[in-house]
């Protein structure tokens, strides 16, 4: 193992030297900011608490690659969705199929969209049908307090599916009565309206929001409508806290070529309901527990139905002179109608936290039940079930699985040294027992410089789509096994008064990696366990927030992120759909700076070079991904309780692809006004 890691690190340096050396020069220029700060400077970033791990610790005490995005930066940045926020971070790849978060695949450090865990206020929301739905939840960006990200395998903290990282999105009602109304309008018929209120009912703090978005689309079949409802209530007294949240989302969107370029006129309608209740109490021994439920309805039309689209005539769907269906060597088979899916999730979690002579101890137990009803995925039912909520939906297939986790995690810190170690035991009736141990070690070799190293393992279950989906261009594989990963990371963190940085090298060895593959461009996609997938890389992240008044006249904050990756598979030659289309290198710079009184600007610039090729159906061949240069800008004017803003996305008007043949929008200009008032 040691020889392999050393070899990979040497190869990484050679790889970096051969690629964009000017990016490394940018890193060195940013690090020059360290000069001029004395060892007596106070550490402010280290005082922020990270709530994602099993044991809550100060940011300074973490020995992992951890990133935090606070509310102020989110509000100033040119972002509209949670995906836009995450795209700005080191190691993140937001592979978009549509605009404004209609359908996005989040990947971390070259993993796939199924290999990371999303949490809202510590409660997991991943959908068992497919990772395409992991970001399908109703949470307006304005309501987000902060986002915490832990990169690398994290199953010992979160359980299965935290294969390449965990993302915790945190909201908190304010302790006052306040209402925010916001309206945004823009090109392509864009309308985005938000009404959000914080209010007190006795000792209970509440946050309620309603958001509605719509657009005519930037090209054919890219229109969308999206309704988001979010509510959170928090009661806290002494050591007791009760946190209730409920969300509802209803979104429908044109999905031009989203899943296959062979039949591009697609459409999808998703409705999701998620709710959770969390309770914690105790002083010496802290007891906490949560229960969460989620239901998601998914209607997918491979041939879009409706006026000016395909309309049903007898047993056929017809648009003009075209009949929806599939040509095969055995003849023409008509399209039978949409795919309907309903997924249900029940998550019950309990934890004990207490301090001992050897530090902070957390013991957790978790149950996660998952079920799908579908007319495509799962095993055949004896009777057909009809939906009263989703018009026309019926289900004649089903699958159920039950998952159990027990975890023990220990944190110990003394003087300059800290350690976090633990293990998660996972059991599934179909796959048996899997153990995911891990350890993180950190040491302050200087007052403001900390070295860290970590070794962690994780497991990811195949989704119901991985197991059962079959169609005109796909073959199912119900014999798939879970994929596992072993990860190693070493790095250095720098803490100064106004400057924080992390430099990290990492190596991830995946076994039985799940992906959709082709043996040649004319064959069908089939889900398979790839033998091994070895990923190694380098990340650099820096944040500079000046405090001196002279500097703050020109800049409020700057964040720089750079990640470089390399992956190699150990298997026969084939075309992969997801696992080898990672960002080979990714640069992102975010800056917030004042222009003149009451006017500020936030801009985000990125350079993305994606590995591999994509299958262009119209050309009938594989085409390479090109390097993408993206610049987004937002200008904010604030006067008392009114905020006016103008935003422009993709200023360079780049025509580019994140996935397959889906062309993403060029320049998109929008603007709006926000009014805040007290009740």
Tens digits of per-residue pLDDT, 403-453? Answer: 999 999 999 999 899 999 999 999 998 899 999 999 999 999 998 999 999
Model confidence pLDDT, tens digit, residues 612-645:
887 777 667 788 888 999 999 999 999 989 999 9
Confidence at residue 318, expressed as pLDDT on a 0 to 100 scale:
93
Confidence at residue 3, expressed as pLDDT on a 0 to 100 scale:
41
Query: Residues in the chain, how many?
Result: 679
pLDDT at 67 over 60: yes
Confidence at residue 14, expressed as pLDDT on a 0 to 100 scale:
42
Q: In which element (H, E) is residue 70 found? A: strand 66-70
Residue 268 pLDDT class (50, 70, 90 cuts)? very high
Confidence at residue 34, expressed as pLDDT on a 0 to 100 scale:
34
CB 263 within 8 Å of CB 248 = no
- Closest C-alpha among 196, 85, 63, 209 to residue 147: 85
- What's the pTM value of the predicted model, to 2 decimals? 0.88
Residue 615 to residues 96, 106, 475, Cα–Cα distance (Å): 16, 20, 17
Residue 18 pLDDT class (50, 70, 90 cuts)? very low
Confidence at residue 52, expressed as pLDDT on a 0 to 100 scale:
53
Mean per-residue pLDDT for 127-142? 90
Count CA within 13 A, CB hemisphere, residue 572: 7
- What is the torsional sign of CA 508, 514, 517, 519? positive
CA angle 208, 213, 215 (to 5 degrees): 180
Mean per-residue pLDDT for 281-289? 94
676 contacts: CB under 8 Å, gap ≥ 6: 178, 179, 180, 641, 642, 643
Model confidence pLDDT, tens digit, residues 325-363:
988 777 888 898 999 999 999 999 999 999 988 899 999
pLDDT at 269 over 60: yes
Confidence at residue 4, expressed as pLDDT on a 0 to 100 scale:
41
Give all domains of the chain, ordered by start, each with its CATH number. 2-302+338-678 (2.40.170.20)
Mean per-residue pLDDT for 229-233? 97
């Amino acid at each position: 193992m040691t020889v392999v890691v050393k070899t990979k690190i040497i190869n990484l340096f050679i790889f970096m030297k051969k690629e964009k050396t000017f990016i490394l020069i940018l890193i060195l220029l940013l690090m020059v900011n360290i000069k001029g700060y004395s060892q007596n400077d106070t550490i402010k970033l280290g005082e922020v608490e990270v709530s994602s791990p099993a044991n809550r610790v100060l940011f300074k005490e973490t020995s992992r690659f951890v990133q935090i995005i606070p509310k102020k930066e989110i509000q100033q940045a040119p972002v509209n969705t949670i995906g836009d926020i995450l795209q700005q971070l080191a190691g993140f790849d937001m592979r978009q199929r549509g605009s404004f978060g209609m359908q996005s695949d989040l990947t971390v450090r070259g993993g796939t969209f199924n290999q990371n865990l999303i949490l809202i206020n510590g409660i997991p929301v991943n959908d068992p049908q497919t990772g395409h739905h992991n970001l399908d939840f109703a949470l307006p960006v304005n309501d987000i307090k902060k986002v915490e990200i832990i990169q690398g395998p994290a199953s010992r903290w979160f359980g299965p599916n935290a294969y390449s990282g965990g993302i915790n999105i945190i909201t908190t009602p304010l302790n006052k009565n306040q209402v925010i109304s916001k309206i945004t309008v823009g090109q392509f018929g864009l309308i985005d309206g938000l009404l959000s209120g914080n209010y007190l009912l006795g000792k209970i703090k509440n946050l309620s929001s309603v958001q509605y978005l719509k657009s005519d689309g930037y090209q054919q079949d890219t229109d969308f409508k999206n309704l988001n409802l979010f509510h959170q209530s928090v009661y806290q007294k002494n050591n007791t806290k009760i946190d209730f949240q409920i969300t509802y989302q209803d979104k429908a969107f044109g999905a031009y070529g989203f899943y296959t370029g062979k039949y591009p006129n697609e459409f999808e309608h998703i409705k999701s309901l998620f709710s959770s209740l969390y309770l914690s109490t105790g002083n010496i021994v802290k007891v906490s527990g949560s229960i969460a439920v989620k239901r998601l309805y998914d209607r997918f039309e491979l041939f879009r139905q409706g006026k000016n689209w395909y309309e049903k005539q007898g047993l056929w769907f017809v648009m003009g002179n075209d009949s929806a269906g599939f040509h095969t060597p055995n003849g023409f088979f008509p399209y039978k109608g949409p795919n309907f899916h309903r997924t249900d999730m029940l998550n019950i979690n309990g934890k004990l936290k207490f301090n001992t002579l050897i530090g902070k101890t957390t013991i957790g137990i978790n149950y996660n039940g998952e079920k799908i009803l579908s007319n495509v995925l799962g095993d055949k039912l004896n009777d057909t079930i009809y939906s009263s909520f989703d018009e026309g939906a019926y289900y004649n297939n089903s699958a159920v699985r039950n998952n159990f986790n027990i975890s023990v995690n220990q944190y110990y810190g003394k003087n300059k040294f800290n350690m976090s170690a633990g293990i998660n035991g996972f059991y599934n009736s179909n796959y048996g027992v899997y153990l995911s141990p891990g350890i993180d070690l950190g040491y302050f070799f200087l007052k403001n410089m900390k070295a860290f190293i970590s070794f962690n393992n994780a497991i990811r279950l195949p989704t119901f789509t991985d197991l059962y989906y079959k169609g005109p261009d796909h073959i199912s594989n119900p014999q798939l096994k879970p994929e596992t990963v072993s990860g190693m990371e070493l790095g250095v963190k720098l803490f100064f008064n106004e400057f924080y940085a992390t430099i990290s090298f990492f190596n991830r060895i995946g076994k039985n990696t799940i992906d959709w593959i082709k043996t040649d461009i004319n064959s069908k996609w089939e889900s398979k366990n790839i033998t091994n997938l070895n990923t190694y890389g380098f990340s650099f992240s820096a944040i500079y927030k000046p405090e001196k008044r002279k500097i703050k006249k020109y800049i409020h904050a700057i964040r720089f992120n750079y990640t470089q990756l390399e992956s190699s598979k150990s298997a026969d030659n084939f075309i992969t759909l997801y696992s080898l289309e990672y960002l080979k290198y990714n640069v992102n710079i975010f800056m917030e700076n004042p222009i003149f009184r009451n006017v500020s600007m936030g801009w985000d610039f990125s350079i993305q070079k994606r590995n591999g090729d994509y299958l262009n159906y119209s050309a009938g061949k594989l085409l390479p991904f090109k390097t993408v240069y993206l610049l987004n800008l937002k200008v904010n004017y604030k006067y008392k309780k009114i905020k006016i803003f103008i935003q422009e996305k993709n200023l360079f008007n780049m025509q580019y692809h994140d996935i397959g043949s889906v062309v993403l929008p060029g320049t998109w200009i929008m603007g709006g006004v926000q009014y805040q008032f007290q009740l």
